[in-house]
Structure 1
């Protein structure tokens, strides 16, 4: 299907989906201004203080998110934001890609190209994709190329809120990405890029915030002008790989419980933030209350008017209090009158705020699918790998589920990239194939733990020398492993000579017939 018609409502998705993506994006950004605007203007963009925020019922309750409360006129905003949402997304990405997955191909040429992709930034791109996936419920990887930048294609991530996908029984069949080229708040210029099997369509539209508007030539804007000489009459570019889709969708986690009844979003992934938005909101409110206690608890002196002196510039120019003055004239006041200096300082409710914040963080992290130990140990003590696994059981379970979604999507897009390179656009000569993906252990054993395990296997006579070497040096290639095995056997005097090189009379001896 070609690009959308003019004057199409954009983005064409259910309002609740757009709202949820906006909320998740605001929490992920960690920007207080964006959070304030996201919740303040929910439902209308007309008034700063809306009547719905002050009435009861469902509308009033939903409107009264703490971040959605209007700032009283004449006061400055004093809300504090704790970027826990960003920490959750980063932790999810680190669990998956802190050590890159092992990508192996049967072809030597294909393996060399995959290794080159990793060296050129694929690992960093996967770390970025992992964050976007956890925050927005999914991420897209697309094959892109621009020979003025790089001679060969590479993979580029796209956040879920910048794409409109087409699914067939849960499998991505096409997707439309868009990029905002210009925007003044009312008029918006968008570049649409639609990926279908074997072809990528490009188009530029001039419209409004919620309408695609009219399509204009690609030559109208510098960012898309180079594409004008590459597209056909329908705005498409033939990828040279007619059977593959040059984009892949990786859901963060399925099913998306709140979207099961929305046909276009039923196969989308769900964010790590789904269901914990109110806890994140309450956490910010707790820390802001804590900071308010600190502001109000500043030591203050209440001085009677007799202790104040004129500023020296005449009436109307105010009075001051000299805290270094040593001599005062006694006041002729009744003895019961309270006319002395009063020192005032409120108590900071440290323990109450700290306990509340810790409870909210623990609950939010648990509902997001992680163990609190994933976000650091309070005492900073070192733990063995076994202890880490025990304390992070929930985290490791969540990581295992996420790898099930990443494995097929990552394999699809790397195969698609190799197919595009093998086509007429690049003629790489490398036959495309789907790589095998092996995920690294997110909890690394210490060298001492590995050595003790290898020693136990040797004493139990339950593992060969090669197995023990591979256990300790898991990143070594086969030739280096074999060289190490030979060296160990030679030092131990257990190396076996090739029988074909021995004479029948023994080592170095020939038999009677010369054999």
Structure 2
């Protein structure tokens, strides 16, 4: 298919319901008070539910004391930590290809991109990974993350077959918007520059007319819009956060971790705002008689100096109650704390995580990996589900990166689809690992090579063999048994 036609409604109206959901989730993810107030002014999901962010325009003063706790962004961050705190293992059969893949991972900041993509995808229901290249920038293929609210995808049988991306460019105003549109199809990428309005794509103009797209003009084919990738695979993949999408059951689009729990976020901010209001109202206040005030003259008011140490007596009868009165309200700490913890547990559970992942139920004492698994069971189940959604698209886009490396940068490799293996997600302490190895060794149930692999799972077979040889040489275990070399004496 070609690029979008002039005058097309934009963003694409068929995806409007998804973009609307993403805008709300993005406001919660951002944690910005103004964006929260704005989005809930536009999209009041439950008019009878008056949370801290859907106050009427007639009550702007009340928003000054509204506070926000970034529980939503914490949930998205936990999701990313569980998935990509460690880079998954990547394996191909060809040694040269394996070496090149490791170079791409080390130099291309792929783990950072995946971690950022996983966090944003948890908030916005999914994320896109794009493979591209830029000879003027670096001599290797590039992996980048594309936000789902700037993509119009095309699926067939639940699989992505093409995608149209866009971004607003500098120089845009409230009435005129410049958009760079980038369409990915198998074997090619199409580029277009459009001048339109906020809700209409407008007309196509040459790429050279905007500084942010001018450098693309020289790489286009004879039609002025197409870049041939030199491979047959699509150069973009979609990674759904998790499924199914409960609002769009038949859609291949994933669901946000926030789906169904925005009211909990609202309630949490209600409680936190109430707690801070208690603290604000509980500040000690002094009620003093007029005679204690220092008069600054007509029209200039009066004040009370609460730091003054010496006061002269006042000429007033002793029965007029001219004493200083202290006013201080109680702070309901325990009630508010229990409420915030309960809301955190509910939000975490509804999003698919254990309370332990958010610092609850931890007494500060060191615990073993087994105990972590037990307390964090729900988080581990969710992590396992999400790795299933990430494994295939990640392997596919890494295969595309290798192919682009071979085609455009002359790498002498045999591009293969790598095998992606996620770890168990629990980092066992060195003390716990040493105890496990000691018990296995005493039972005679483990070889030296296996012990090395348990201690250093990232090592390859060559490194393991070298370490085994060094250990056997140092301990003398590699020496032949002298008893077995004695000659047999016949009697």
- TM-score (normalizing by structure 2): 0.91
Q: 2:343 aligns with which of 360, 382, 387?
A: 360
Q: Does residue 235 of structure 2 align to residue 235 of structure 1? A: no
- Counterpart residue number, 1:403: 387
Contact 2:291/2:314 (<8 A) preserved = no
- Counterpart residue number, 1:10: 10
Superposition RMSD in Å: 2.3
Contact 1:465/1:485 (<8 A) preserved = yes
SS in 2 for 1:195: strand
User: CA-to-partner distance for each residue in 1:460-487, whole Å, 9 max, x for gaps?
Assistant: 3333332222122212221121122233
Extract unaligned runs of 5+ from structure 1.
44-57, 498-505, 510-515
Number of residue pairs matched by the alignment: 476
Q: Does residue 90 of structure 2 align to residue 103 of structure 1? A: yes
Say which is worse superposed, 5-14 or 19-28, in terms of deviation. 5-14
How far apart in 2 are the matches of 1:339 and 1:8? Answer: 77
Cα deviation for residue 259 of structure 1 reads 0.9
Residue 461 to residue 184, structure 1, CA distance change in 2 (3 Å): same
How far apart in 1 are the matches of 2:146 and 2:204? Answer: 23
Q: Does residue 126 of structure 2 align to residue 141 of structure 1? A: no
Cα deviation for residue 508 of structure 1 reads 13
The 5 A counterparts of 1:207-356 are: 207-232=196-221, 233=223, 235-241=225-231, 243-260=232-249, 266-311=251-296, 314-323=297-306, 324=308, 325-332=310-317, 335=319, 337-356=320-339
User: CA-to-partner distance for each residue in 1:151-179, whole Å, 9 max, x for gaps?
Assistant: 12110011211211111111111111111
Say which is worse superposed, 425-434 or 352-361, in terms of deviation. 425-434
Contact 1:39/1:65 (<8 A) preserved = no
Q: 1:113 aligns with which of 100, 109, 121?
A: 100
How far apart in 2 are the matches of 1:445 and 1:329? Answer: 73
Q: Does residue 180 of structure 2 align to residue 179 of structure 1? A: no
Contact 2:169/2:180 (<8 A) preserved = yes
- Counterpart residue number, 2:33: 32
Cα deviation for residue 394 of structure 1 reads 0.5
The 5 A counterparts of 1:56-67 are: 60-61=47-48, 64-67=50-53
Contact 1:2/1:234 (<8 A) preserved = no
Q: Does residue 75 of structure 2 align to residue 88 of structure 1? A: yes
Contact 1:135/1:271 (<8 A) preserved = yes
Residue 70 to residue 152, structure 1, CA distance change in 2 (3 Å): same
- Counterpart residue number, 1:205: 194
Contact 2:398/2:417 (<8 A) preserved = yes
- Counterpart residue number, 1:46: none
Extract unaligned runs of 5+ from structure 2.
none
How far apart in 1 are the matches of 2:93 and 2:184? Answer: 28
Contact 1:145/1:153 (<8 A) preserved = yes
How far apart in 2 are the matches of 1:332 and 1:399? Answer: 76
Contact 2:15/2:152 (<8 A) preserved = no
Q: 1:391 aligns with which of 375, 388, 395?
A: 375
Contact 2:139/2:409 (<8 A) preserved = no
- Counterpart residue number, 1:78: 65
How far apart in 2 are the matches of 1:463 and 1:92? Answer: 35
Q: 2:139 aligns with which of 106, 127, 151?
A: 151
Q: Does residue 346 of structure 2 align to residue 374 of structure 1? A: no
Which of structure 1's runs of 4+ aligned residues deviate more than 6 A?
Answer: 506-509
Residue 151 to residue 488, structure 1, CA distance change in 2 (3 Å): closer
Cα deviation for residue 440 of structure 1 reads 2.0
SS in 2 for 1:470: helix
SS in 1 for 2:47: helix
Residue 428 to residue 330, structure 1, CA distance change in 2 (3 Å): same
Contact 2:261/2:347 (<8 A) preserved = yes
Residue 145 to residue 381, structure 1, CA distance change in 2 (3 Å): same
Cα deviation for residue 390 of structure 1 reads 0.7
How far apart in 1 are the matches of 2:102 and 2:120? Answer: 24
Cα deviation for residue 338 of structure 1 reads 4.4
Cα deviation for residue 299 of structure 1 reads 1.1
